[in-house]
Structure 1
Amino acid sequence: MPRPLCLIIGHGPGLGAAYAQAFMDAGYDLALLSRSGARFEGRAQPGAEVAASPCDAADPAALSRVLDQVTRDHGPPEVMIYNADLAMFGTLDDLDEAQFEQSWQVAALGLYTAARKPGRAMAARGSGTIIVSGATAATRGQDWTTAFAPAKAAQRILAQSLAKQLGPKGVHVAYILIDGVIDTADTRADFAKGKPDDFFIQPARIADTAVMLTRQDRSAWSFEIDLRPFGETW
């Protein structure tokens, strides 16, 4: 039997790599898109196919071209994970209009473009899963999330619209609201110096949840599921 295809938009170290490994282990081939064109560096399963392509999710024309190429070369994806993000943090004094717009383009416009390509193809065949990596910033703003929070809020409400449009056509759209600091070398250095291991949310466990979402029966689909470390204040 051919392996189904998982398309990950926003592959790279940390969560993107964890998604790739989890879906590889779950029996999927991988199509990986990122600005850098980062390749899969995990444990490949026998017979699995992996393709990695450079792509800027903030550029609708470029993203559309790459999505078309993925479909031509590897067939339509059964799962699409939108993990593209731009950690554009700062206040009004720190960020300009171009940075604000770029944050929105990556979070929301890129998801819209992706939905118009693989999303509509999934709807046409009546099956598929779209998973969006979200954040608590989508539900509340802070002084340092002047650009990030509006972008994630737009992404979240777009995902909800997609779920209502595509769900009746057999496509499961789910939004993972990540409430915590994801454990990577960068976050440990930049956001949480000296914090103990159990302060962080492990990317592999987020990826486990994504796999679980693809296995939900359509009689009991989740749209939004929040994940946080056990000690997180919320």
Structure 2
Amino acid sequence: MAGLIIVGAGPLIGQSVARRFAREGLPVAVVARGQGTVDKVVAAVADEGGRAIGFTADAADEASLHSALDAATAAHGVPDALVYNAGVIRADRLGELSSAELLDTLAINVVGALATAARVGPAMAAAGRGTIIVTGGMRDPDANRISLSLGKSGVRTATELIGREFGPAGVHVTTVTVCDVVEAGTPYDPDLIADTYWELHLRTPEQWERVVLFAR
């Protein structure tokens, strides 16, 4: 198995997804901005007997993102699954962020997902298989979270466009809209969300969905 590449492997959904796929025997390549985050996820996978390697990259920096994705593909081959889980979560009302600050959040929340899919997706399409999952949220816009609302709305559109590009070649492209705060021990436990990601990866074409709601 060529395994999983996950971009944005933080301590919640990212780590849980990495551990879940590793438990199924897939090698995992972890990409995150900080070396400390990478090391923690790689160690968590190894603690459960899985295989993981890590790379640092800023999802808003195309050059570093491409370098990490290329290195991950070189190490494990064209991935069976690609997960984009990077995002900026902040509270902000209309006008509180400058245009530059708003663009910075969109660069990670939306453009990074497009850049990741554009870099890895063609090889997955050429192989005629695979799953691309983008972590979403904010089912409804929130006036107290302007940048996140815009970003997650953009993610749904980005996922639709990625799916139109690679779906006909056999790549399942979907976004999981997580409808509440992720917290261990709650209905939105990251391990439960990770189970959904694995289930989506196992789906056959007639079961594909472009937007999946994780609502409890």
TM-score, structure 1 length as denominator? 0.85
The residue number in structure 2 matching 1:213 is 200
Q: CA deviation at 1:43?
A: 4.6
Q: CA deviation at 1:206?
A: 0.5
Instruction: Check conservation: 1:88, 1:103, Cα contact below 8 A.
Output: no
> What secondary structure, in the 3-state scheme, does the structure 2 residue paired with 1:88 have?
coil
Q: CA deviation at 1:93?
A: 4.5
Q: CA deviation at 1:20?
A: 0.8
Paired residue type of 2:126: A
Paired residue type of 1:140: D
1:89-108 correspondence runs (5 A): 89-108=91-110
The residue number in structure 1 matching 2:33 is 35
Q: Which runs of 4+ in 1 moved over 3 A?
A: 43-46
* In structure 1, C-alpha distance between the alignment counterparts of 2:176 and 2:9, rounded to whole Å: 16
* In structure 1, C-alpha distance between the alignment counterparts of 2:72 and 2:23, rounded to whole Å: 21
1:14-93 correspondence runs (5 A): 14-37=12-35, 38-39=38-39, 40-44=42-46, 46=49, 48-93=50-95
> What secondary structure, in the 3-state scheme, does the structure 2 residue paired with 1:131 have?
strand
The residue number in structure 2 matching 1:120 is 122
* In structure 1, C-alpha distance between the alignment counterparts of 2:61 and 2:99, rounded to whole Å: 17
The residue number in structure 1 matching 2:3 is 5
What's the CA shift string for 1:20-76, capped at 9, x where partnerless? 111111111010000113222325355x43111111001112111211121222221
* In structure 2, C-alpha distance between the alignment counterparts of 1:106 and 1:97, rounded to whole Å: 15
Q: Which runs of 5+ in 2 are unaligned?
A: none
What's the CA shift string for 1:169-193, capped at 9, x where partnerless? 1000011010011005xxxxxxxxx
Paired residue type of 2:192: R
The residue number in structure 1 matching 2:143 is 143
> What secondary structure, in the 3-state scheme, does the structure 1 residue paired with 2:175 have?
strand
Instruction: Check conservation: 2:175, 2:210, Cα contact below 8 A.
Output: yes
Paired residue type of 1:106: I
Give the total of aligned pairs. Answer: 211
> What secondary structure, in the 3-state scheme, does the structure 1 residue paired with 2:180 have?
coil
105-114 or 216-225: bigger deviation: 216-225
TM-score, structure 2 length as denominator? 0.91
- Identity among equivalent positions (%) equals 28
Q: CA deviation at 1:4?
A: 2.8
Paired residue type of 1:177: T
The residue number in structure 1 matching 2:113 is 111
Instruction: Check conservation: 2:9, 2:85, Cα contact below 8 A.
Output: yes
> Which of 187, 207, 212 matches 1:225?
212
Structure with greater proportional helix content: 2
* In structure 2, C-alpha distance between the alignment counterparts of 1:97 and 1:128, rounded to whole Å: 37
* In structure 2, C-alpha distance between the alignment counterparts of 1:117 and 1:144, rounded to whole Å: 34
Largest Rg, 1 or 2: 1
Instruction: Check conservation: 2:22, 2:51, Cα contact below 8 A.
Output: no
Q: CA deviation at 1:213?
A: 0.5
* In structure 1, C-alpha distance between the alignment counterparts of 2:207 and 2:95, rounded to whole Å: 45
Q: CA deviation at 1:129?
A: 0.5
Instruction: Check conservation: 2:4, 2:80, Cα contact below 8 A.
Output: yes
> What secondary structure, in the 3-state scheme, does the structure 1 residue paired with 2:197 have?
helix
